[in-house]
Structure 1
Amino acid sequence: MFPYLFKIGNFELRIYSLMYIIAIFIGLFFIKKRAKSLHQDPGIIENIIIVSFFGGIIGARLYYVLLRWDFYSQYPYEIIAFWHGGLAIHGGLIGGVLTGYLYAWKRYNFLYLSDLILPFLLLGQGIGRFGNFANGEAHGVPTITPPDIIFRFKNIFPEFWRVVKSTFNLPDGVEGMNLLNSMLEQKKVLIVEFQNRVYELKEYVPFGVRFPSKYNPPAYLEFGYLPVHPTFFYEMILNFIGAAILIYFWKKDEQIGKGVITGLYLIFYGVIRGFVTTFRADDLMVGYFRAPHIVSFVLILIGGLLIYFRKMRGNNG
């Protein structure tokens, strides 16, 4: 809604960037303090986190570009223009993990580091979602979308929405979406037939977020004044809950390096992202399927196997 706090000339202090700066400082403060209590060098841990952060940004951009290659192959100069948007969290995780591992593998056991850092990564991901709200991005589908359309592993929302626009003869773009919004405000009963079923367009949840036209946020450009699912808040709340659970284990000395915290992070974030992505309107796709669903399944599988084998190893002495 308000992408920047202030603007001086060409300089903007964007809320999105500020949220991640705050998240990094919070994480560094607590992780360095914890490292010191575990008789580790806080300076080295700080360097690992900073290097991993920049590796994560590169990974997030490359992941996004690869899955949107149809666009970037036509406009290659946009590949480096990450300030125009286009960072994918799963790519960030891959890039951050690889960078951190390559930088620190001679000094630290990988699971020791991941157990130490990941609770505050999940907390930071939650904080960062407020930046998505400020930008009007990472938004959900309109709240008038029937639940049966949303809760499908295969993403049928784009097809459904094309039928909606065709049924009511809506023009493309913001004009058509605002026309649909006006029809809803007039309390008209809007019926759509899709895949041999009849659906009614109505407010299925009362907590949708409307984005104004000021700053032309992506959510407004796609759906006009229609209220959309606040997926950034869904994920923020779930990330905070997951981070609180991880921090509970993180405070116990005997848990650092066991791999359970790392496994739980992978499971938690896989479940959270898998759930939230069903509501998302702007997720990257692999064919007809949402890329986050595929990656989330892999994360949950790896996390479960990690905990299982670490527990088996512990039971076997």
Structure 2
Amino acid sequence: MEENFSPIDPVAFSLGPISVHWYGVIIGLGIALALWLAIREGEKRGLDNDLFADLMLWAIPISILSARLYYVIFQWEYYSQHPSEILAIWNGGIAIHGALIGAVVTAYIFTKKKNVSFWKVADIAAPSIILGQAIGRWGNFINQEAHGGEVTRAFLENLMLPEFIINQMYINGTYYHPTFLYESIWNLLGFALLMYLRRVNLRRGELFLSYVIWYSIGRFFVEGLRTDSLMLTDMLRIAQVISIALIVLAVALWIYRRKQGYANIRYLDVEEQPKKKKSKGKK
């Protein structure tokens, strides 16, 4: 029996010939909220209030490019035949692992230039990152992508989901697992956990490593339900392989940094900040 409701229009509004998609609006909202949270916490931890804003000027475009590049590389068979679609990120198709790689590399170089601890900045940013991811998944919801396998309407109703979510999971005559929602909820729980761990006063770097472990565990299981996974082989999903690798790496770094004495400073420790160099010129 064909349902008689329509999916949500992916276009939020239009400005003349320019269409603004909900996907971009939601991603932008996630970034803005994440940045505001990081700036507030950075000020409490003694960082300049413009440090995260300056970092984001570099990290956002680089992360978007690396996220898209990551996705296109693993879908090259398709994009080699449709090169005009390579830049069409408003239709979806950016990989979060690609974005994280770009963001981490950018942050590492940026903090070295600013003479600030990378691990301190990463710890402060960790809750912001996972909150932004939780919000960003709703862009996938609007685009009706990143969903799981087929289910019945009764299955979705038994999950006590709002009607608008159930209806949006009806795609081309079939209902699907709302895996975007599973991951969003997991990330929100991770956000709450990281906010709590701030008060526990972990050693430097361990808040960020906790984020990596928490997110990777959830992503591993959610990815197993999805039908649009990027595949390494016929059996191996790339996101699951990377999730396992990240968990192992994070645990190894946690142990190594403690044994080598690189994590003696704790999150809530107050440090004397390096003085800014005086600019040359007239006084």
TM-score (norm 2): 0.80
Determine whether 1:261 maps to 2:268. Answer: no
Aligned to 1:16: 23
- What letter is aligned with 2:75? R
1:138-157 matches, cutoff 5 A: 138-143=146-151
For residues 13-52 of structure 1, the aligned pairs below 5 Å read 13-52=20-59
Contact 2:205 2:263 in 1 (8 A): no
Give the aligned partner of residue 3 of structure 2.
Answer: none
Query: Are 1:309 and 2:259 matched, yes or no?
Result: no
Distance 1:76 1:315, change over 3 A: closer
Question: What is the Cα deviation at residue 85 of structure 1?
Answer: 2.5
- Aligned partner of residue 228 in structure 2, secondary structure: coil
- Alpha-carbon distance between aligned partners in 2 of 1:21 and 1:109, rounded to the nearest angstrom: 27
Matched, 1:135 2:83: no
SS state of the match for residue 6, structure 1? strand
Paired position in structure 1 for 2:268: none
User: After superposition, what is the alpha-carbon deviation per residue over 1:173-197, rounded to whole angstroms, capped at 9, x for unaligned?
Assistant: xxxxxxxxxxxx9xxxxxxxxxxxx
For the Cα contact (< 8 Å) 2:148–2:227, is it kept in 1? yes
> Could you give the per-residue CA deviations for residues 201-244 of structure 1, whole angstroms, max 9, x where no partner exists?
x95984486556xxxx9x72xxx221100001000100000111
Correspondence 1:236 to 2:184: yes
Contact 2:212 2:246 in 1 (8 A): yes
Aligned-CA RMSD value? 2.6
Decide which of 41, 62, 66 is 1:59's aligned counterpart.
66
Determine which of 85, 88, 98 is the counterpart of 1:91: 98
Secondary structure of 1:283's counterpart equals coil
Measure the CA separation in 1 of the matches of 2:22 and 2:252.
38
Q: Which amino acid aligns with 1:99?
A: T
- Structure 1 counterpart of 2:259, one-letter code: M
Q: Which amino acid aligns with 1:293?
A: Q
Name the counterpart of 1:150: none
Give, in angstroms, the shift of residue 316 of structure 1. 9.9
State the 1:52 CA deviation: 1.2
Partner of 2:229, secondary structure, is coil
Does residue 121 (structure 1) correspond to residue 129 (structure 2)? The answer is yes
- Name the residue aligned to 1:277: 223
Query: Is it true that 1:245 corresponds to 2:186 in the alignment?
Result: no
Q: 2:82 aligns with which of 72, 75, 82?
A: 75
Distance 1:75 1:15, change over 3 A: closer
CA contact (8 A) 2:157 2:166 kept: no
- 2:233 is the counterpart of 1:287: yes
Q: 1:120, CA displacement in angstroms?
A: 0.8
1:122–1:240: 8 Å Cα contact kept in structure 2? Answer: yes
Q: 1:44 to 1:276 in 2, by over 3 A?
A: same
Unaligned runs of 5+ in 2: 1-6, 265-283
The answer to whether the 8 A contact 1:260-1:306 is kept is no
Displacement, 1:70?
Answer: 0.7
Q: How do residues 95-106 of structure 1 correspond to structure 2 at under 5 angstroms?
A: 95-106=102-113
Residue range with higher mean Cα deviation, 74-83 or 33-42: 74-83
Give 1:225's aligned residue: 173
Gaps of 5+ in 1: 145-184, 186-201
Name the SS of the counterpart of 1:12 in structure 2: strand
2: CA distance between counterparts of 1:45 and 1:303? Answer: 24
1:251 deviation in Å?
Answer: 4.8
Q: What are the within-5 Å matches in structure 2 for residues 150-229 of structure 1? A: 206-207=158-159, 220=171, 224-229=172-177
Count of residues in correspondence between the two structures: 251
What code does the residue aligned with 2:36 have?
F
Query: Retained in 2: the 8 A contact 1:210–1:226?
Result: no
Does structure 1 conserve the Cα–Cα contact (< 8 Å) formed by 2:64 and 2:99? yes
Cα distance in 2, alignment partners of residues 81 and 17 from structure 1: 11
**Distance in structure 2 (CA, Å) of the matches to 1:22 and 1:269:** 20
1:110 to 118, 129, 137: 118
Change (3 A) 1:260 1:75: same
TM-score of the superposed pair, with normalisation by structure 1: 0.72
